Structures are given as C-alpha cells and as structure tokens.
Structure 1
Amino acid sequence: MTIVISTEDSVRFQTLAGLKESISARLDRTFDNDDLTDFIYLAEREMERVLPVAAREVTTALSVSAQTSPLPIDFKAVRHITVGSGVSLSLAAASVVANNQCTGCPNAYAIIAQQLWFSPIPNSTHNGTLVYERKIPALTESAPSNWVLDKHPDAYFYGALVQASDFIEDATKIGRYRTMFETVLGQMIEESERYRNSGAPLKPTMIGVV
C-alpha cells in the first residue's frame, strides 16, 4: 500500500529553498544547488504535460477588434471563449478561419502561430471573455513559489525525488517515489473532476431548445 505524506501544513515544503532542503534530507545526501534545480525542473515538466486540473483555469477579459489576438503569456489551452452578448465561439479548422474574408461578430476561432484567429473577421470591437488553462510557472530564485507548490507541494517533492533517485542510480527509490508521485498526480486529477462536477452526476441537457 502506498502512503502519501500530507504536507498541507508544512511551511518548508512550500518554498523553493525548503523543497530543496527536504529532497536532500529525505535521501540523506548533499546535492549541488544546480542538481536540485534540475530535479525540480524535470518534475515540473512532467506535471506540465499531464495535469489537466481545474486549478489551471483562469479567466481574462478579451477585446476582439482584429482577425488575430495575442495569447496570454502563460497560455496552455483554451477552455471557453465568449464574445458579444455571451456568444460561445466554436473551435474551427485553422485553414477555414485563416481563409475566411467575411466580416461580422466572430463565432469561431482557431489557434495559429501562437495567436487566436477569429472568424468572421470582427467588424468592430467585440468584448468577451477567455477562459484558459495556464502553464505551471517555473520555480526560480526570483519566483520561489507557484500555484502548484502552494496547493500540492507533495507533487513537487515526490516528482523531484524520482529524478534525484535516478541521479544517484538507486532503482529501489526510483520505483518507490515514482509510485508516490503518480498517486499524488492521480489524486489531483480526481479532486479536479469533483470540483468541476460539484460531486453530482452529469445529466443530458437540451440547450437552445424552446
């Protein structure tokens, strides 16, 4: 049975310096700061690829006045876009959106070359809302915390321990911490689904039918 240690009340785990100290303490080994930075970075990259959690979602105002609009700097994926009187935009093929020369209030979008493209081309300024998944901000000395470390420090801890165990070539520890890391990631995803669904089963709904 895998036992994951709760770190909710542990201040040390929730800072970059404390995380590094905890990694060394758990493995009873002194690592160079650069190596510790690498362990944390590699764990961070894995979480970036696999975590579709509700905590990633943020909302920002959107002003659409041209065919293209820059994406937020921390953008990872679109969840929802509305413009005008709350009209939801549909995702369309990039070629269709890019080649459409009609004008009007946008009803479709595509992501092309790190930009949002709209179709039809806006005929005026249309205000709206973009709900998107944000990237995991990298932990650095100048930015020693982020939303993952704040809410799920054990994910960083066990993920970094996997990398540190690989570095010291300890296969037993790699397997142990890999199991713990994946357990935490799974719990984060399950928690996210409960949050999104409010604990209730989904029911079929007729939308737009009078």
Structure 2
Amino acid sequence: MDLTTYSGLRAAIADYLGRSDLENQIPAFISLAEARLNRELRIRAMEKVSNAVTSAGEGTVAKPSDFLEARTLVLETSPQRVLELRTPQQLEESRAASPGGGVPAYYAIIGDQIHLAPIPQAVTGLKLTYYGRLTPLSDNGATNEILPNNPDVYLYGALVEAEPYLMNDERLPMWGSMFDRAVQAIKGADDREAWNAGQLSTKVDIRVA
C-alpha cells in the first residue's frame, strides 16, 4: 500500500479503521490532522520566501495567504537591512518617534498585514522568509511537502481525528502516542539536518495566533 499519495493514504486509513461507513469522513480526518500539523510543525520543508515592494507613505504590506510564522524580514537596500520585530505598541511608538517617516527598521504583524516603522518614504523591496501552511492534500493534490517522507504522521493524525466516530476505541491512545512520536521525530530530524548543514545560530521563530 502506497502511503505517499492522497489516495493511498485514504486507503490505509480506511484499512486501519476497519469501518466501511466512514469513507466519506476520511477526507475530513486528513484535513483536521493537517490543521494540527500546521499548528505544531515548524520545519525547513515549510519554509518559503515571499517578495514585496513598499510604497512611499504606505506603512503596510500584505502577508502571504499561507503565512504561519515569520523567520526574517529583510529590506533590500544596499547593504540589506534585517528588520526587527516589535509589538504593535512598540511599533506605534517607533512611528511616533519618526513622524515624517524614513527607512524602515522595525515591523509588527497585525492581522493580515505587516506594519513597518518608520513608514517608508521610498519604493524598496522586501524579502520575507516564513513558515507557510502545508499544501493541502486532496484529489487534485496527491502529495505535499512532508507526506512522501513522513506518511506515518498523516496516518496516525487522521486516525486520532476519527475519535468522535470511534468513541471508546481502545486503539486511540496508541494512535495518539504514535502521532506525537512522529511529530517529535520529524522535529528532531530537521534539527539534526540543520546542524549538519552548518546552521549553528539559534532559530528565532515568530508565532502569530
């Protein structure tokens, strides 16, 4: 059984559940497991880069639609400037200190916007490195960033999400434990790969609720 594709994953979940009446619910189990992975995983396979351009006198740019957390925001001046994260209150204080605007040095993430301070007075490129949501699995999207190498985390995650239908199934604690172990194993492998690749500095992740 091929667990590295959406159809194979669905077949495996149905086989594990042993319930012919849940075929229509299995896509929802997978989607719920995916939502949980988006909350719990922050690995390099989820890193993306998005480019934007500031507008003179405009202090915001839109976040990418799949944004989860920021890694770095770089102002593409010469030399480049790495912007520092601020709370919304701190950002407003920075703007108040430079009422005429200037070259951005700070940013805050508010809703669907990235707010800059000082407010830029020139058109300048921005490069955002961030964690993005996993590409959703579906009939039209057979695989994504992590399924081929980590099918177990999807399998056990979906089985756990079947709990409302399975009620007191004695297998649920085991599946939950296997899911947690798979998540930790993925994080551990990602950390080891990052270390071996020479990434010695501490990662600073910025979570947005």
* Displacement of 1:176: 1.3
Say which is worse superposed, 136-145 or 17-26, in terms of deviation: 136-145
TM-score relative to the length of structure 2: 0.83
Q: 1:173 to 1:140 in 2, by over 3 A?
A: same
Match of 1:119 among 105, 117, 120: 117
* Displacement of 1:62: 2.9
Q: Do the aligned residues in 2 keep the contact of 1:54 with 1:195 (CA within 8 Å)?
A: no
Counterpart CA distance in 1 for 2:100 and 2:196 is 41
Could you give the per-residue CA deviations for residues 132-180 of structure 1, whole angstroms, max 9, x where no partner exists? 0101233233333221223322110111122235522343210111111
Could you give the per-residue CA deviations for residues 93-124 of structure 1, whole angstroms, max 9, x where no partner exists? 21332461342211100011210011111111
Match of 2:44 among 46, 54, 60: 54
Aligned-residue CA RMSD (Å) = 2.3
Paired amino acid for 1:109: Y
Counterpart CA distance in 2 for 1:34 and 1:89 is 47
Counterpart CA distance in 2 for 1:160 and 1:93 is 36
Residue 22 (structure 2) pairs with residue 32 (structure 1): yes
* Displacement of 1:195: 2.5
What number of residue pairs does the alignment pair up? 194
Secondary structure of 2:138's aligned partner: coil
Q: 1:105 to 1:151 in 2, by over 3 A?
A: farther
Match of 1:169 in 2: 167
Say which is worse superposed, 190-199 or 37-46, in terms of deviation: 190-199
TM-score relative to the length of structure 1: 0.82
Question: What percentage of aligned pairs have identical amino acids?
Answer: 26
**Residues 103-114 of structure 1 aligned to structure 2 (within 5 Å):** 103-114=101-112
Residue 85 (structure 2) pairs with residue 91 (structure 1): yes
Query: Which runs of structure 1 show a deviation greater than 6 angstroms over 4 or more consecutive aligned residues?
Result: none
Question: Which residues of structure 1 form unaligned runs of 5+?
Answer: 1-9, 205-210
Match of 1:182 among 174, 180, 183: 180
Q: Do the aligned residues in 2 keep the contact of 1:62 with 1:127 (CA within 8 Å)?
A: yes
